Amino acid sequence: MALHREEMPIQPGIWRAGPVMTLALAGLALAGLLVTGLVGLQLDGLVLNLADLALVVVPLGLWWLAYYRPAQRTGKAVRYMPVLILASAVITNGLALPIIERIYRVDAWLVNAPGNTRIAGYTLIVGFLEAYLKFALIRYTVFPHAMRERGDAVAYGVAVSLGFAAVQSLRFFLDGGAAPLGPAVLRVAETYLSQIAFGAVLGYFFASARFARRAVPVWWFALALAVTALLNGLYTVFRAGIIVSGFGISGTANSPILGLAVATVLALGVFFVLTFLNGQAEARDAATPGMVIYR
Amino acid sequence: MNRPSQPIPTPVPGGGRAYTTRERWTNWIALGATLLALFGGILLRDSVISESQFYEDPAAGISAMRPVGWLVDRGGDYVFRLRDPEARPFKTTLQVTVLTVGPDAEGRNALDMLTLRRAARLSGYRVLNVHDSVNTPRGPAPQMRYAFVASEPDPFLETLPAAVIGVDVVFFKSNQAIIATYQAGVDRFDAEYFRFEQFVASLRF
């Protein structure tokens, strides 16, 4: 029996949906890895292609289940979100990836550079470019009028990042060919989890600007881009270092599960910090009621 | 945390209205920061790509700047050879060779000697052009361009042969011809030519 809107539970919003989605995604990736390892599942041909494609779609389904559908059911769905996901996917494929891969060609010179150089490179090129495109998508479409509460801004940040992650995962398969399920699961999960974290951070800056009681500084969004980009650069470099699990005379051994762990901890950590900050901000709002206007 | 946020008491400005000056500044500063970062990325890329270290062969009295990460080899009929281990399928090469020549020798004589050597050793070797004097970072010098096909000697690696373009530039010092050589796969030749220019400019003998 369908509930009337007044009887429906309060929609938990992004503060719960974010961590839930993070854990679900990490759990599914681990389960997929376990199943393919234990059963020795070997797919090939069209079946493998379809399985890889399904991997790209599953996180979007999780987002719909964990955030969008409950929001719709309680009448609190944020507007234009599916369109924004699609738009971010188009921009990623048409602008972000060509600039990163063909103009800057970061894979050709940055991968083997010293650690500090890699952090600087990934921050300045990949981090800033991705952050600005996400910023522009939100800033020039839904900000500030479609954000009715702080969580909406974070949800928009996560949504545009899902579009980025979807295309990055898809391009991984299109450019490199179909990948075996085990590595593919990890790759897709890591991409989505890290992008969700970056998007949430950027979204929180929008939330702070939207619900500020006095005008935010003119450099506020530049700071947002810098923080998000730096997080991107640090994650990319530290993840690459952490997944190296063993050294030997003939080479190094990688542990991809550590990569998944890093991405999961990053996403959970970001939501933990943002939830705390949101709680503080809402407590301040409650203590000093007044008009909230974006200026 | 999970409670509903504060309701907004008034209609929110921003939907469909023009930006204020302050908002425009905010937007422009964000764009400016991004452009600045991307410009910084270009500078960083250029500095990483052109990063080099001093290398000297004391026996021959020749020194040059070598690209970081390139392997040094002194085991052939050359003074030293620098190779990019990451270049595929042909390892991009910078090389210095010394030939003993007579006091009246010209650049073309030294280049002909190289051609005779290579024609017998390299598959599909062909001289593309020879110039008696071209401008190099060390001044005018004879130059020869050539092409050949590089094949992997190990048949178990199953690699396709690669078309390679090479350049020799000849400098003279008393009765020695010092030849700086650059060889790269056809697809990398132009992109990495700057390394040869840097290499020649840094040569000391």
Tell which wins on pLDDT, B26 or A11: B26
The mean-pLDDT minimum among A107-121, A137-151, A234-248, B52-66 falls in A234-248
Averaged over A164-193, what is the pLDDT? Answer: 90
pLDDT higher than threshold 50 for residue B13: no
Phi, psi values for residue A27, rounded to 5°: -65, -45
Residue A27 has a pLDDT of 95
Residue A292's pLDDT band, with cuts at 50, 70 and 90, is low
CA-wise closest residue to A221 among A292, A153, A147: A153
Interatomic CA distance for residues A73 and A75, integer angstroms: 5
A280 touches chain B (CB under 8 A): no
Interatomic CA distance for residues A133 and A195, integer angstroms: 13
Taking CB atoms and an 8 Å cutoff, what residues of chain A touch B38? Answer: 124-125, 128-129
Q: How far is CA A147 from the centre of its chain?
A: 19
Residue B3 has a pLDDT of 46
Burial class (CB in 10 A: 0-12, 13-18, 19+), A237: buried
Residues belonging to chain B with any Cβ–Cβ distance to chain A shorter than 8 Å = 1-6, 8-10, 12-16, 20, 22-23, 25-27, 29-34, 37-38, 40-42, 44-45, 48-49, 69, 86
Q: Locate tokens 């190094």: which residue?
A: A252
Largest CA distance in chain B: 95
Residue A271 has a pLDDT of 96
Q: Which chain B residue is nearest to residue A274, measuring alpha carbons?
A: B1
Interatomic CA distance for residues A273 and B77, integer angstroms: 63
CB contact (8 A) between residue B2 and residue A12: yes
Residue B14's pLDDT band, with cuts at 50, 70 and 90, is very low
CA distances from B183 to A295, B2, B93, B113, B119 (A): 60, 65, 5, 18, 15
Structural contact between residues A97 and A170, judged by C-beta atoms closer than 8 angstroms: no
CB contact (8 A) between residue A124 and residue B41: yes
CA-wise closest residue to A81 among A18, A154, A184: A154
Taking CB atoms and an 8 Å cutoff, what residues of chain A touch B29? Answer: 218-219, 221-222
Averaged over A29-41, what is the pLDDT? Answer: 83
Residue A12 has a pLDDT of 61
Reading the block at residue A215, the tokens are 């005008």
The mean-pLDDT minimum among A28-32, A279-283, B2-6, B13-17 falls in B2-6
What ipTM does this complex have?
0.88
Tell which wins on pLDDT, A250 or A58: A58
Residue A7 has a pLDDT of 44
Residue A248 has a pLDDT of 56
pTM value?
0.77
Residue B191 has a pLDDT of 85
Q: Residue B162 half-sphere exposure, CB side, CA atoms within 13 Å?
A: 21
Q: What percent of chain B has pLDDT over 70?
A: 89
CB contact (8 A) between residue B6 and residue A16: no
d(CA B53, nearest CA chain A) in Å:
15
Residue A201's pLDDT band, with cuts at 50, 70 and 90, is very high
pLDDT higher than threshold 80 for residue A33: yes
Give pLDDT tens digits for B122-149. Answer: 888 999 998 888 888 777 889 999 999 9
Interatomic CA distance for residues A121 and B113, integer angstroms: 46
CB contact (8 A) between residue B26 and residue A144: no
Amino acid at A254: N
Residue A107's pLDDT band, with cuts at 50, 70 and 90, is confident
Q: Report chain A's mean pLDDT, rounded to a whole number.
A: 87
pLDDT higher than threshold 70 for residue B10: no
Give pLDDT tens digits for B175-187. Answer: 888 999 999 999 8
CB contact (8 A) between residue A294 and residue B12: yes
CA-wise closest residue to A22 among A165, A227, A127, A132: A165
CB contact (8 A) between residue A124 and residue B33: no
Phi, psi values for residue A76, rounded to 5°: -115, 20
CB contact (8 A) between residue B37 and residue A128: yes
Q: What percent of chain A has pLDDT over 70?
A: 89
Closest partner residue to B38 (CB to CB) among A128, A218, A293 is A128
Averaged over B77-95, what is the pLDDT? Answer: 89
Taking CB atoms and an 8 Å cutoff, what residues of chain A touch B25? Answer: 218
Closest partner residue to A218 (CB to CB) among B5, B15, B22 is B22
Averaged over A15-22, what is the pLDDT? Answer: 93
| Alpha helices, DSSP H, located in chain B | 21-49, 107-121, 193-202
- Identify from A107, A132, A223, A284 which residue to disrupt to test chain B contact, counting B C-beta atoms within 10 A and taking the largest count: A132
CB contact (8 A) between residue A12 and residue B10: no
Q: Which chain B residue is nearest to residue A272, measuring alpha carbons?
A: B1
| CB within 8 Å of chain B, chain A residues 259-278 | 275, 278
A79 touches chain B (CB under 8 A): no
CB contact (8 A) between residue A13 and residue B15: no
Neighbours of A77 (CB within 10 A): 18
Amino acid at A91: I
Residue B16 has a pLDDT of 55
In the beta sheet, which residues pair with residue B166? B146, B183
CB contact (8 A) between residue A149 and residue B5: yes
CB contact (8 A) between residue A221 and residue B37: no
Give pLDDT tens digits for A39-73. Answer: 777 777 888 888 889 999 999 999 999 998 888 88
Closest partner residue to B38 (CB to CB) among A12, A129, A292 is A129
Residue A129 has a pLDDT of 97
A16 touches chain B (CB under 8 A): yes
Q: What is the dihedral of CA A263, A269, A271, A277, to 10 degrees?
A: -150
Q: What is the dihedral of CA A224, A230, A232, A236, to 10 degrees?
A: 180
CA-wise closest residue to B37 among A226, A206, A91, A136: A226
d(CA B186, nearest CA chain A) in Å:
17
Give pLDDT tens digits for A137-173. Answer: 999 998 888 888 889 999 999 999 999 999 999 999 8
Taking CB atoms and an 8 Å cutoff, what residues of chain B touch A293? Answer: 10, 12-13
Number of CB pairs, chain A paired with chain B, less than 8 A apart = 118
Q: Report chain B's mean pLDDT, rounded to a whole number.
A: 84
Averaged over A103-118, what is the pLDDT? Answer: 88
Q: Locate tokens 């042969």: which residue?
A: B161
Interatomic CA distance for residues B134 and B139, integer angstroms: 8
Tell which wins on pLDDT, A134 or A291: A134
Give pLDDT tens digits for B57-85. Answer: 888 888 888 888 889 988 888 899 999 98
